[in-house]
């Protein structure tokens, strides 16, 4: 036991000696947690529309005004021709071209039917489909008001069709604010980056600088060595997590709905698993550059597969099972459930089993793979 | 000159001896391309849904069947009460519930209006809004079929054309993003340790007593990585064209020239970091951990830049990958020429020169 205490003392001294590393561990994640949620917003608004109006009638102007006032669009330019509008798209000044043909008003009144051309910059699939969808909705809305207006002035009112009206109730987040969803996710990612990188760099540093030899010739057992590396970073990780929760409350007003004890239990187990992965990488590699790249490789996959950027449900089956084997996925899910919906142990218990499994396998691997003789 | 070439050769040995790093260097883009191409999609699908059916009539069953056959939804066991909805939200098994009123079928049968409730788990706002629009479309379709003879009188019909991407290939948007992201992180990280490693291992002294000028030392450090990055670029482009069926529309030469320029910017940034730090650990933490999230967020390919608060748009002007992303989109996907990207190119060139000059200024020819 006293051996372990000496090891811990050594590790803590090393951590606190390097001011830059300390700053990287505490300040960087906190600063990022404060500012990043403001940037991470999937909402599509401010779609730039280039308008080509060949009709210049009161109806075409009315439609344009309706589009401009819908809140999603910004009329970025009046183009004389389609090719001129296309140039605006090429320069990135417009996302969408709306072309109103000559005779728009006349045809609409006489035939009751008129096409308008819409050309969308489809490189960004989400933005283009949402933009086209919004514009179609605005036009459909205009259609309805037009039908009403024209019907009032003389023509027979068509029989009302059967209609189903949808009333949406948004639970847990009635104002649909993105920050509620993003902030807990970003907290988990930052914790993962700090823990994963620090742990994977640690043992390999001793190898590269050569100090590991001094440890290898002592009677320190393998598990003591690994535990001596694990505990300091675990404490650092828990502190970062705590500060993160405080930031979440103070800056974003998000207080966990569920039990804080359960949240900490998960964080504790998750950190052991994550640090185990880092130490495992560290025992495999010879240089810090290697360790960093291997760690980056896994972090990248973990982040992309975790459901932070895209929903896990919409992945194909093979990807969903891959996502199931990454610890980050489970922890992000649990943190969101506990913080946002107040889920308790009964609902998230199985996730804990996953994390305990990861922790055992990864740390076991690190202990097995650390060799005192080369 | 001969000395310099010998020096570059030394650097090449360093790089190629480390097979694990090389493996990651080439494995990373491959994995990213596969994940982005086949696993990740911003479309929301397979959403867990349950119905709370107070009507139990033919109409409500028909609507439920439509939801079941839709690929957007994954229908689970029905719920019986609002309390049960909340429980199912809490364990994460469903994201929304459709509530039929008890007179659903009867009201529809009379040809009238009927209201249904959609209870959405809005802790994920993106899914919540998507769910409502999907369900509205399904319900409107169903209602429309009930009165097929009715045709609205005044109709403006939009004819939508998708420019540059008629098949709506989702891979198109992220290929430039992935290239930008990989070089921004990998190229910077590679050179960020190059000088500080010699400091840490004590070989820096030998370097400093050699007759080579600081500029030559810096360039020699970057050359092997420049070459590696170019090979990597070729690999990514081949994968995008043959695996993801992304068509390169513009000039390949221009795309290459711009990419090399961008890689140089990243390598120069790495050299600067390497000069300013005192340990490999710090250098890598700055270049990887510090830059990973800002690059992902501020390049513009995951989250649209124009929606961000102005301060982020201002910060994004100093992120090199942002310009490169714009350039690749224009050249590779839209097929535009140099006249459309000269501004971005000028900015990148300016960044490259400035960074190299600052790196040269901060290169210390004396130890401690």
Over the stretch A239-284, which tens digit does the pLDDT of each residue have? Answer: 999 999 999 999 998 999 889 999 999 999 999 999 999 999 998 8
Partners of residue A318 in chain B, C-beta under 8 Å: 39
Asked whether B345 and B338 are in contact (CB, 8 A), the reply is: yes
Q: pLDDT averaged over chain A? A: 85
Q: Is pLDDT at A114 greater than 80 in this prediction?
A: yes
How many whole angstroms separate alpha carbon A3 and alpha carbon A1? 5
Q: Environment class of residue B361 by beta-carbon count within 10 Å: exposed (0-12), middle (13-18) or buried (19+)?
A: exposed
Q: What is the pLDDT of residue A157?
A: 43
The pair of structure tokens assigned to A141 is: 């809305």
CB contact under 8 A, B303 and A193: no
Nearest chain B residue to A330 by CA distance is B92
Q: Is pLDDT at A11 greater than 90 in this prediction?
A: no
CB contact under 8 A, A305 and B39: yes
Query: B100 forms bridges with which residues in the sheet?
Result: B53
CB contact under 8 A, A197 and B288: yes
Partners of residue B172 in chain A, C-beta under 8 Å: 122-123, 125
Q: What is the pLDDT of residue B149?
A: 58
The pair of structure tokens assigned to A25 is: 């561990």
Q: Is pLDDT at A156 greater than 50 in this prediction?
A: no
Asked whether B120 and A171 are in contact (CB, 8 A), the reply is: yes
Q: Which of A161, A173, A294, A326 to substitute to test the interface with B, most B CBs within 10 Å? A: A161
Q: Which of A118, A144, A311 sits opposite B160 (nearest CB)?
A: A118
Q: Which of B131, B281, B330 to substitute to test the interface with A, most A CBs within 10 Å? A: B281
Show Cβ contacts of residue A347 under 8 Å, excluding neighbours closer than 6 positions. A337, B87, B90, B91, B92
A193: nearest Cα among A29, A22, A34:
A29
Strands annotated E in chain B: 47-53, 73-75, 96-100, 113-121, 155-163
CB contact under 8 A, A289 and B164: no
Rg from Cα positions in chain A: 29
Q: Which of A20, A41, A297 sits opposite B28 (nearest CB)?
A: A297
The pair of structure tokens assigned to B205 is: 């002294």
How many whole angstroms separate alpha carbon B315 and alpha carbon B293? 13
CATH says B47-146 is which class? Answer: alpha beta
CB contact under 8 A, B108 and A176: no
Q: What is the pLDDT of residue B107?
A: 84
Partners of residue B293 in chain A, C-beta under 8 Å: 32, 36, 186, 189-190, 193
Say which residue, A319 or B113, is predicted with more confidence.
A319
How many whole angstroms separate alpha carbon B21 and alpha carbon A251? 40
Partners of residue B158 in chain A, C-beta under 8 Å: 115-118, 132, 135-136, 139
CB contact under 8 A, A116 and B157: yes
The pair of structure tokens assigned to B179 is: 């290239």
Nearest chain B residue to A159 by CA distance is B150
The mean-pLDDT minimum among A90-99, A197-206, A293-302, B36-45 falls in: B36-45
Q: Is pLDDT at A344 greater than 90 in this prediction?
A: no
How many whole angstroms separate alpha carbon A324 and alpha carbon A322? 5
C-alpha distance from B200 to closest chain A C-alpha (Å): 8
Write B143-149 long-range contacts (CB < 8 A, 24+): B143/A161, B143/A162, B143/A163, B143/A164, B143/B108, B144/A161, B146/A161, B146/A162, B146/B108, B146/B111, B147/A161, B147/A162, B147/B111
Q: What is the pLDDT of residue A154?
A: 44
Query: B160 forms bridges with which residues in the sheet?
Result: A118
Q: Which domains does chain A have, with CATH numbers?
A: 2-40+177-369 (no CATH), 47-152 (3.40.1710.10)
CB contact under 8 A, A92 and B330: yes
Classify B75 as helix, strand or coil. Answer: strand
Q: Which of A189, A289, A314 sits opposite B44 (nearest CB)?
A: A314
Task: Give percent above pLDDT 70 in chain A.
Answer: 94
Q: What is the pLDDT of residue B235?
A: 92
Range list for CATH 3.40.1710.10 in chain B: 47-146
Q: What is the pLDDT of residue B264?
A: 95
How many whole angstroms separate alpha carbon B295 and alpha carbon A303? 14
Classify A112 as helix, strand or coil. Answer: coil
A and B: number of Cβ contacts within 8 A: 366
Whole-model pTM? 0.83
Q: Is pLDDT at A155 greater than 60 in this prediction?
A: no
Written as tens digits, the pLDDT of chain B (368 aa) is 788 888 888 888 888 888 888 888 888 888 888 888 888 877 778 899 999 999 889 889 999 999 999 888 999 999 999 999 988 988 888 999 999 998 888 888 776 778 899 999 988 888 888 888 888 888 888 887 876 655 556 677 778 788 887 776 767 777 888 888 888 888 898 899 888 888 888 888 888 888 888 888 888 889 999 999 999 999 999 998 898 888 888 899 999 999 999 999 999 999 999 999 888 888 988 888 778 778 888 888 777 777 788 888 888 899 999 999 989 988 988 888 888 889 999 999 999 999 999 998 888 777 65
Q: Which helix (H) or strand (E) holds A23?
A: helix A19-39
Nearest chain A residue to B307 by CA distance is A45
Rg from Cα positions in chain B: 28
Say which residue, B230 or A168, is predicted with more confidence.
B230
Asked whether A59 and A108 are in contact (CB, 8 A), the reply is: yes
The pair of structure tokens assigned to A90 is: 């090429």
Q: What is the pLDDT of residue A312?
A: 85
């Amino acid at each position: 036991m006293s051996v372990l205490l000496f090891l811990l003392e050594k590790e803590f001294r090393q951590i606190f000696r390097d001011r830059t590393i300390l700053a990287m561990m505490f300040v960087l994640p906190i600063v990022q947690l404060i500012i990043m949620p403001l940037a991470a917003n999937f909402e599509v608004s401010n779609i730039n529309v280039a308008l080509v109006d060949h009709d210049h009638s009161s109806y075409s102007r009315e439609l344009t005004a309706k589009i401009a006032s819908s809140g999603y669009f910004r009329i970025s330019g009046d183009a004389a021709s389609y090719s001129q509008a296309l140039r605006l798209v090429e320069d990135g000044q417009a996302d969408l071209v709306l072309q109103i043909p000559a005779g728009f008003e006349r045809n609409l009144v006489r035939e009751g039917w008129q096409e308008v051309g819409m050309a969308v910059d489809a490189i960004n699939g989400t933005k283009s489909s949402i933009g086209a969808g919004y514009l179609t909705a605005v036009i459909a809305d205009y259609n309805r008001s037009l039908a009403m207006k024209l019907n009032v002035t003389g023509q027979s009112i068509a029989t009302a069709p059967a209609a189903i009206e949808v009333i949406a109730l948004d639970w847990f987040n009635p104002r649909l604010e993105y920050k509620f969803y993003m902030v807990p996710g970003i907290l988990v990612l930052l914790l993962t980056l700090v823990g994963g990188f620090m742990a994977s760099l640690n043992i390999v540093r001793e190898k590269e600088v050569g100090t590991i030899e001094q440890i290898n010739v002592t009677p320190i057992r393998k598990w003591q060595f690994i535990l001596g590396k694990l505990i300091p970073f675990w404490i650092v990780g828990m502190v970062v997590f705590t500060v993160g929760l405080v930031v979440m409350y103070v800056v974003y007003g998000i207080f966990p709905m569920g039990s804080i004890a359960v949240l900490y239990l998960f964080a504790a187990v998750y950190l052991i698993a994550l640090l185990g992965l880092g130490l495992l990488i560290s025992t495999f590699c010879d240089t810090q550059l290697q360790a960093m790249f291997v760690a980056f490789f896994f972090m990248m996959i973990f982040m992309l597969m975790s459901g932070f950027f895209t929903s896990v449900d919409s992945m194909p089956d093979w990807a969903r099972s891959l996502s199931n084997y990454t610890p980050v996925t489970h922890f992000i899910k649990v943190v969101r459930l506990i913080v946002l919906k107040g889920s308790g142990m009964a609902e998230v218990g199985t996730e804990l089993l996953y994390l305990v499994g990861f922790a055992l396998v990864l740390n076991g691997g690190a202990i097995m793979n650390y060799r005192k003789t080369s | 000159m001969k000395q310099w070439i010998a020096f570059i050769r030394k650097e090449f040995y360093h790089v190629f001896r480390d097979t694990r790093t090389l493996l990651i260097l080439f494995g990373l883009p491959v994995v990213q391309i596969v994940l982005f191409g086949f696993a990740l999609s911003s479309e929301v699908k397979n959403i867990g849904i349950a119905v709370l059916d107070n009507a139990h009539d033919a109409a409500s069953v028909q609507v439920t069947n439509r939801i079941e056959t839709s690929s957007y939804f994954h229908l689970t066991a029905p719920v019986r009460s609002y309390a049960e909805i909340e429980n199912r939200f809490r364990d994460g098994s469903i994201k929304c519930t459709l509530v039929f009123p008890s007179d659903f079928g009867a009201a529809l049968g009379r040809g009238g209006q009927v209201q249904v409730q959609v209870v959405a788990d809005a802790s994920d706002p993106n899914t919540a809004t998507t769910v409502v629009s999907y369900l509205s479309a399904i319900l409107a379709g169903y209602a429309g079929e009930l009165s097929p003879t009715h045709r609205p009188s005044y109709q403006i019909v939009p004819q939508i054309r998708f420019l540059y991407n008629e098949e709506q290939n989702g891979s198109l948007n992220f290929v430039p993003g992935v290239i930008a992201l990989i070089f921004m992180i990998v190229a910077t990280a590679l050179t960020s340790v190059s000088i500080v490693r010699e400091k840490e291992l004590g070989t820096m002294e030998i370097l400093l007593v050699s007759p080579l000028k600081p500029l030559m030392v810096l360039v020699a450090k970057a050359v092997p990585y420049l070459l590696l990055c170019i090979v990597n670029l070729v690999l990514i482009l081949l994968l995008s064209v043959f695996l993801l069926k992304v068509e390169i529309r513009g000039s390949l030469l221009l795309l290459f020239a711009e990419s090399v320029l961008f890689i140089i910017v990243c390598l120069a940034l790495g050299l600067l970091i390497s000069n300013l730090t005192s340990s490999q650990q710090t250098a890598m933490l700055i270049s990887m951990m510090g830059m990973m999230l800002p690059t992902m967020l501020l390049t513009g390919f995951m989250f649209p830049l124009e929606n961000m608060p102005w301060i982020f748009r201002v910060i994004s002007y100093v992120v090199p990958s942002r310009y490169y992303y714009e350039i690749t989109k224009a050249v590779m996907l839209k097929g535009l020429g140099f006249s459309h990207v000269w501004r971005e190119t000028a900015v990148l060139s300016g960044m490259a020169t400035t960074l190299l000059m600052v790196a040269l200024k901060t290169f210390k020819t004396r130890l401690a």
